[in-house]
Amino acid sequence: MKIKVGIVGGTGYVAGELLRVLTHHPFVEFDFIYSQSQAGKNVGSVHGDLFGLDLTFSSQINPEVDVLFLCLGHGHSTQFLTANSLSEKTVIIDLSNDFRLEKDSLFQGKKFTYGLVAKNKNEIANSKAIANPGCFATAIQHALLPLATVGELKKDVHVHAITGSTGAGASLSETAHFSYRNNNDSLYKAFNHQHMGEIQETLVSLQENFSQNLHFLPIRGAFTRGIFAFIYMETDLDESELIQLYKSYFAHSAFVKISSQPIHLKQVVNTNFNLLQIEKINGKVLITSVLDNLLMGAAGQAVQNMNLLFSFPETEGLNLKANFF
């Protein structure tokens, strides 16, 4: 038995990755790929890597679809759901930031569960609406979940993280142009990135007394995909205690893995894995976190959420090998 999938906002980078992953998923079939601007055109005419896919963009949606992925810009998912009625049976997986915060999580009678699988796996499996986490938020939260769970976030947390150009979306902007990005790194939204709210809420939910500052410096990188994050803070735990804490927390995680060796982006690009390395240096714990912003940071985790919702094997469609060369 296959479920019917609909995708709204089908022309962006995340939708392209979602299509690529789901074409190899044995338990789904595409019902519609909605795009007003590209309606009637073959999907491969927009997503060149999907040139063999026999699908066309549609100007109509099927309100009875089993699962609807919303791959829209921030603020547009709310508009779409307000303008379009869906069946009560339809599961919604939203990849924008519209419903991630607790204050925004109840919409039209649906309670959106925050879809961070490593923390909310059981709640996700029993939900009807998912707010998929942000890419930076996923990389940073995985680095902090074990410490927050045992109340060890006692000092300010510092984060330096660099992302590829696909993190800015497919729409053109000055800082996404090749002439700007090539041979260039740049800082943006220092200490004020939109993912900070969801990170703070998660940490407080695990460590109620967490009131320390989260200092986040996001950086645009001169590459296309991936997030390389460094998270550090003071701690009294020694390195062996820290490593054991992380190994224990993620012991049953399908995609979050602890490495004893230095890690790099090529290990995770094109996969749904998030690799972590933990070190203790001069009284500080340094957690290095790497993932693919379009997969574990977006479409891959969304499919993982779908698998949990429909009782499919959690890794179905997501056993992807990194593009190492």
CB 57 within 8 A of CB 7: no
Q: Rounded to whole angstroms, how far apart are CA atoms 1 and 221?
A: 43
Any idea which residue has 């590459």 for tokens? 223
The total of other beta-carbon atoms located within 10 Å of residue 236's CB is 10
Q: How far is CA 157 from CA 141, 210, 220, in A?
A: 12, 11, 21
- Catalytic entry in 18, 135, 139, 143: 135
Question: Which tokens go with 20?
Answer: 């690529």
Q: What is the maximum span of the chain, computed from C-alpha positions, in angstroms?
A: 60
The total of other beta-carbon atoms located within 10 Å of residue 62's CB is 16
> Catalytic annotation on 135?
yes
Taking the mean position of all CA atoms in its chain, how far away is CA 19? Answer: 16
Q: Rounded to whole angstroms, how far apart are CA atoms 220 and 168?
A: 9
**Identity at 115, one-letter amino acid code:** G
CB 9 within 8 A of CB 302: no
CB 218 within 8 A of CB 163: yes
Across the beta sheet with 28-34, what order do the strands follow?
57-58, 28-34, 3-8, 67-70, 91-94, 129-131, 113-114
Q: Angle of helix 117-125 relative to helix 300-309, nearest 10 degrees?
A: 30
* Backbone torsions φ then ψ of 233, nearest 5 degrees: -165, 165
CB 139 within 8 A of CB 227: yes
Please give the positions annotated as active site: 135
